[in-house]
Chain A
């Protein structure tokens, strides 16, 4: 469903985006964590808008999964190899 895609997709992708920025922004870990969270709300807004503009719901869900993977896998890999503080 489109609304579910917007809510769930919005929050999940925004959270993964926050984690991605936290790991990969060229800042100290504490500052990067903060900036990631601060920027995540813009990501969530964009995803929600995209979810309602998209023409095909199937395509929407698939694209969301792909984006989540593109954000989530590097984060997961980075945590496995470099660990957390």
Chain B
């Protein structure tokens, strides 16, 4: 390929972007939503009212556990935080000899959520926001390891697409401020560039740190080079401490409020988020207390261990070093759990920009190719397929997410396998959009799809107010900002989709410019903005376009 470096990078950018674009769109959309996964989970469990104080919460939790699971191996208590969750408790039953400890995540027989008075609340079973969070790296309906390899592969493609996009972008700062509307392909390119460049540091960060988060899978060779087996590496870097055994002698557990007080003092005032008691009621009991990492960038799981009877702090080995610090910071910056409300919204908006970047990139591909077709009115099969896949993904997934929320409100609270039914609803609707897109002409599919998505999003707050007592009006009156902002976001999203539907409806394709005019320097092409763009144009190599395009 005897092309310039910039041109070959442009070619690579286009192809690497498209091939995995649909998967990346799904990863980005669900990942963006995942910044608010805890809040979404709260919204999806409307039976749970928010808590006023956590001092009582701890006492209630212990009393409940003493009654329900006095012989358990381990008690886990998570305390209410500013993000609105309730007191979630779970316990790990003592396993019989020779039996492997098995606990499915969210196993209802060994977990409960307590309300203000210490009673277990019959909260509807749901995966909540955590399904969307886990989807963005585990996908669904496939073994987790496969999914993570697919995601990793796509992420590396995205990293290449970002870096080549930067290299290709000769006038990256000028184009930052350029958004030429109503100019056909030029506008799509500008939209793609703006959303890409506007949050470029975020995109670069989120992609690279995403790879680092799963690097033990993708790149085990760093460890393999220095260690014969991974156990010794993990013991060095994540020391677990002594594995204690039951003594068989019962002894009363130290009052947990004392432990909380000691830990808070050691942490300079920071509150705990989780407490875990191993072998409660036994004299070998230990208490692990973990604190929330809001506001901290380099910590992962700051926890302290106390003796369960005396309440003395037990020393713990801590690993430190440039490698583990870098890794922790990268994972934390990716997940954004350290962020407060404002920064979290910024993360979210950057993620939305990234999602739009991928979406506009996918559409740009078809817009550009359509002009090159011998007969634009009757494209060949491959082209039509890509157009349909675009509609199916860009419309289908958001519609599916709305359906997930609707299923949460509409499915019977006590039905069996409820979380799975909610999740399946999302995929059923997504598949429905794909099928619809295959059956309709592309333009009608876009319009009808966007309208359908808009209707689904409008339905969410309506169904919420009809099926629960926490509709928008009530949440505004009660200062329930979490519920209110969720419902408002649904309405704004619906608005965006209605807007997009109208845009597509009013869209008339620009006339293909008469190419013969280019060869006559005395009469420049009338609409230079819609001139046919070659890949090399992105690199600004074509001199003619540069000379004629006075709008630059």
Complex-state Cα separation, A53 to B164, whole angstroms:
11
Task: Establish whether residues A33 and B160, one from each chain, have CB atoms under 8 Å apart when the complex forms.
Answer: no
Task: Establish whether residues B321 and A84, one from each chain, have CB atoms under 8 Å apart when the complex forms.
Answer: no
Task: Establish whether residues B321 and A29, one from each chain, have CB atoms under 8 Å apart when the complex forms.
Answer: no
A10 to chain B, nearest CB (A): 8
Point out residues on A near B: beta carbons under 8 Å: 10, 14-16, 18-23, 27-38, 40-42, 44-45, 48-49, 52-53, 55, 75, 79, 84-85
Q: B183-220 CB contact bits vs A (8 Å, 1 = yes)?
A: 00000000000000000000000001001100110011
Residue among B1, B2, B160, B323 making CB contact with A34, cutoff 8 Å: B323
Task: Establish whether residues A30 and B156, one from each chain, have CB atoms under 8 Å apart when the complex forms.
Answer: no
30 interchain pairs, CB-CB under 8 A = A10-B156, A18-B219, A18-B222, A19-B224, A27-B321, A27-B323, A29-B226, A30-B321, A30-B323, A31-B324, A33-B223, A33-B227, A33-B233, A34-B323, A34-B324, A38-B212, A38-B330, A45-B159, A45-B163, A49-B9, A49-B167, A52-B9, A53-B5, A53-B8, A75-B225, A84-B225, A84-B226, A84-B227, A85-B227, A85-B232
Instruction: Tell me which of B156, B167, B221 has the highest count of chain A C-beta atoms within 10 A of its own C-beta.
Output: B221
Task: Establish whether residues A19 and B159, one from each chain, have CB atoms under 8 Å apart when the complex forms.
Answer: no
**B327 interface residue, CB < 8 Å from A?**
yes
Complex-state Cα separation, A30 to B322, whole angstroms:
10
Within 8 A of A (CB), among B296-311: none
Task: Establish whether residues A22 and B164, one from each chain, have CB atoms under 8 Å apart when the complex forms.
Answer: no
Q: B214-251 CB contact bits vs A (8 Å, 1 = yes)?
A: 01100111111111100011001100000000000000
**B441 interface residue, CB < 8 Å from A?**
no
At the interface, is chain A mostly helix, strand, loop or mixed? helix
Residues from chain A with Cβ under 8 Å of B323 in the complex: 27, 30-35, 38
B406 to chain A, nearest CB (A): 39
Task: Establish whether residues B212 and A22, one from each chain, have CB atoms under 8 Å apart when the complex forms.
Answer: no
B264 to chain A, nearest CB (A): 31
Residues from chain A with Cβ under 8 Å of B208 in the complex: 41-42
Complex-state Cα separation, A34 to B237, whole angstroms:
10
Complex-state Cα separation, A10 to B154, whole angstroms:
14
Complex-state Cα separation, A21 to B168, whole angstroms:
30
B335 to chain A, nearest CB (A): 16
Within 8 A of A (CB), among B104-163: 156, 159-160, 163
B191 to chain A, nearest CB (A): 25
Complex-state Cα separation, A55 to B4, whole angstroms:
9
Complex-state Cα separation, A55 to B5, whole angstroms:
9
Residues from chain A with Cβ under 8 Å of B12 in the complex: 48-49, 52
- What 7 pairs between A and B have smallest CB-CB spacing? A34-B323, A31-B323, A36-B222, A19-B225, A31-B321, A37-B222, A22-B225
Task: Establish whether residues A38 and B215, one from each chain, have CB atoms under 8 Å apart when the complex forms.
Answer: yes
Residues from chain A with Cβ under 8 Å of B156 in the complex: 10, 41, 44-45, 48
B76 to chain A, nearest CB (A): 29
Further pairs besides A27-B322, A33-B226: 4, Cβ < 8 Å:
A22-B223, A33-B223, A36-B225, A48-B156
Task: Establish whether residues B222 and A21, one from each chain, have CB atoms under 8 Å apart when the complex forms.
Answer: yes
Complex-state Cα separation, A44 to B9, whole angstroms:
15
Complex-state Cα separation, A20 to B163, whole angstroms:
24
B170 to chain A, nearest CB (A): 16
Task: Establish whether residues B222 and A40, one from each chain, have CB atoms under 8 Å apart when the complex forms.
Answer: yes
Complex-state Cα separation, A33 to B224, whole angstroms:
8
Instruction: Tell me which of B9, B215, B222, B322 has the highest count of chain A C-beta atoms within 10 A of its own C-beta.
Output: B222
